[in-house]
A and B are shown apart, each in its own frame.
Chain A
Amino acid sequence: MDPPAERGARRPLRSGDIFVEALLFFAAITSILVMVLIFYFLTYESVLAFRDVGILDMILGQKWHPAGEIFGMAPIIVGSILITFIALFINILVGLPLAIYLSELAGPWSRELLKPAIELLAGVPSIVYGFLGVLVLVVYLERSFDMLTGRSILAGAVLLGIMFIPALTTICEDALRAVPKEFKEGSLALGATHWQTVRRVTLPAASSGIIAAVILNVGRIIGETMAALLVVGNVARLPSPVFDAFDQGAIFTSVIAGEMGEVAHGSMHYHALFAVGFVLLVIVTVLNISADLVRAAIQKKFGGY
């Protein structure tokens, strides 16, 4: 008879508790396990490509030409940067004023209407955005800018920028709302107008949350797949000039999703696509962690909310 069983026999209630706690503990460490596994498998599958092509050649190589076994990610990285900047611009241009409206100006009636609307917008599946992008946005851009094809980096950027407005607005609104009333009342009491108060008091006080939201949104934009896949054109070549957003392009996710379906399992192309996924994972993880750190750092420095 071993000691634990004896203890269990004496206190039947506790043994059940310990069993439950062990189960819950397992559930809690699952997410660590999954994160480690994801990193392990992406490294494992991509290491062959990195070793074969060379890490620097792979990341800085100017040509992505799978049929010729040439795997350079520069076109993909340039496309991703372009798309991120334009999408983020649209995103902030609409998302931040919307957050200000919701937290400062909206009456109860329009809040009741807008809040669920924003939450519903956030729930629209990305493939539906992609579908509308193909049939509405791409056709529209093609016609207005007289482009050879409307599938372009610009189309992807517009679509992604619109898609992630709700994500930005929700976090920014929470940050703006968390600013204590006393701050605003103090500013108003000093004779500042409402807008001066928002600009000089509320926005700076909420800056940690807003900056974290923007960084998180960069991660979302880079990581979004279906909508981008369908409208960016998926041609991995360097645009010329480099900032030509009207050209077709490719981003990390569109290359993976567009090409993974037809590669032979275990070929160099297969491993190269995992390498693209690995770079994407590293970028997004760094962004996520830095969003957290930025929030903490600004809060420490300015006592933000």
Chain B
Amino acid sequence: MKKIRLAPLASIVVALFLLISSLYYLIIQPGELPLVPFWVGGLLVCAVLISFSALVLNRGADDRTRVVWTWGRFLPLAGDLVYFLAVFLLIFLGLIRPDQEFEFLGLSAIFTYNLVLPFLVLSASFFAIKDSINILYGYSTRGREVLVFSMVRLSAVFTLLLLGGIISVILFRGIGAISWEFLTQPHFRLGQQGGISTCIEGTFWLVMGAMLISAPLGIGAAIYLNEYSKHSGLKRIVTIAVGCLNGVPSVVYGLFGLALLVATFGLSLLAGSVILGLMNLPTIILTSQEALKSVPNSLREGSVALGATKWQTIKQVVIPSALPGVLTGLIIGVARAAGETAPIMWTAVTFSATPVHMVYGIVPDVFQPVNNLCYHLLNLIYFLGAWDVEQNAWGTALVLLALVLSINMVAIIVRNHYRKKISW
């Protein structure tokens, strides 16, 4: 019994080595492949171990544990072994050489040796792991479960690596650009020097304007739909409209703003705020509705029974109970408004370095265009090849990412905090 299990285990170990090393070379593309002899040997070892363990699979097994070789089990195994052999021969006989390049189907990409070879080894090692696990578990359903669930776990690891990768790349490249001057000075010489103070200001006022429009409209709509509307027809139509609005691409909002608002107000903070506000509307309606729905009816009935009118009930009882949920929606709306570029590209922003013009020193002049973090970053990306703006672009990206992620983090914390605290 022990002997049978040792061979597939060994082949899993060898195949894992092949998998990880070939994946590494496939992703990193270092230019030369020093591990090729090991890969050839490893493939051969895998093939031998797998065929050996398949041959002795039924030795010493009683009737209960005996594995029946159906075509469905045998053919994939045989196919994989042929594949190992083919890859082995391709490399061993020098049919694929370091200076070779492959093109097929007229695709405008060239597949070099450095790309093809690790890919062949990667796929072969994946099949080797599959077969070894199957043999190890005697082709039971348990083996399949182990295989599938380990791949499912890999997707979780991949996601964490992705988030970690995005944050760390931007953090490490951008941190060098961040200084007090960068945050408090306007940019000059096309963003090659100076900072992003006007963009931060512009983003702030755009988001404020957007929330001024979307918060009352969104929360109001949610209250009406959840508390007042007796008309199920109207409710249904509004729900469909909100669903559609939620899916409307941001660039279409930009076109809408260009056709409707820019014709009237010109390129202005007002036009941008209205468009961002309308874009945020569905998010805020949906989250507020969700929050209102979770308030139990007994609270409303209790309030009405005490003689309160409907609006008093809503104002004093329903809204305070639903506040955490509504607040979460608003905060997510702020983050979205701060991170959107397409809707404001032609409606509200210019690549200007002049600070936002203030009326009476406190209210921004809403008929003037502003600059914005996203738009600033977009312009810097366009300038990348021509001028020396890369450092400032990383810095801008870091500020934008930190801003949006920290706002989202606040939303998550608020929600989790109240979810634990409130129990009806």
Contacts and interface: CB of A to CB of B under 8 A. Distances in A.
Interface stretch (B6-14, B143-151, B182-190): B143-151
Interface stretch (A57-65, A69-77, A118-126, A178-186): A118-126
A292 B341 CA distance: 28
A267 interface: no
A131 B155 contact: no
A132 B170 contact: yes
A16 B115 CA distance: 72
Nearest to B405: A120
A70 to B, nearest CB: 21
Nearest to A115: B412
Given A114-B156, A134-B384, A223 B249 contact: yes
B278 interface: yes
Contacts of A30: 217, 221, 281
A110 B156 contact: yes
Interface stretch (A2-10, A36-44, A47-55): A36-44
Contact of B341 (A34, A126, A246): A126
B220 interface: yes
B346 A117 contact: no
B247 A216 contact: yes
A127 interface: yes
B378 interface: yes
Interface in B159-192: 159-160, 162-163, 166, 169-170
B169 A23 contact: no
A54 B419 CA distance: 56
B401 interface: yes
Contacts of A128: 166, 170, 339, 377, 397, 400-401
B98 to A, nearest CB: 14
Interface in B345-371: 345-346
A275 to B, nearest CB: 10
A102 to B, nearest CB: 8
Contacts of B107: 241, 244-246
Contacts of A285: 244, 247-248
Interface residues of A, number: 100
B249 A17 contact: no
A134 B158 CA distance: 21
A27 interface: yes
- Which applies to chain A's interface (DSSP): helix, strand, loop or mixed? helix
Contacts of B156: 98, 101-102, 106, 110, 114
Given A193-B145, A260-B346, A38 B412 contact: no
Interface range on chain B (Cβ under 8 Å from partner): 35 or more
11 contacts: A25-B224, A32-B238, A41-B255, A45-B259, A106-B156, A125-B400, A146-B101, A244-B106, A260-B255, A260-B346, A284-B252
A37 B275 CA distance: 12
A269 B374 CA distance: 26
Given A42-B259, A147-B109, A124 B221 contact: no
Contact of A260 (B219, B258, B332, B390): B258
Contacts of B250: 223, 225
B71 interface: no
A277 B255 contact: yes
Nearest to A30: B217
B372 to A, nearest CB: 10
Contacts of A134: 381, 384
A148 interface: yes
A216 B248 CA distance: 11
Contacts of B219: 27
Given A110-B156, A246-B108, A285-B247, A27 B341 contact: no
B374 A125 contact: yes
B224 A28 contact: yes
Contact of A44 (B115, B242, B248, B259): B259
A245 B363 CA distance: 50
A294 interface: no
Contacts of B404: 123-125
B27 to A, nearest CB: 9
B187 to A, nearest CB: 17
A130 B357 CA distance: 30
Contact of A105 (B142, B149, B225, B400): B149
B65 interface: no
Q: Which 6 A-B pairs have the closest CB atoms?
A: A223-B249, A27-B220, A125-B339, A195-B145, A246-B109, A24-B224
A68 to B, nearest CB: 23
B86 interface: no
A73 B249 CA distance: 18
B278 A162 contact: no
A11 to B, nearest CB: 10
A121 B163 contact: yes
Contacts of A281: 248-249, 252
Nearest to B243: A288
B160 A31 contact: no
Contact of B251 (A44, A247, A253): A253
B244 A288 contact: yes
Nearest to B335: A123
Contacts of A188: none
Nearest to A197: B145
Interface in B193-246: 216-221, 223-225, 228-229, 234, 237-238, 240-246
B381 A230 contact: yes
Contacts of A247: 108
Contact of B141 (A135, A195, A246, A260): A195
Nearest to B156: A101
Given A120-B409, A284-B249, 5 more contacts: A196-B145, A223-B250, A223-B251, A226-B342, A260-B255
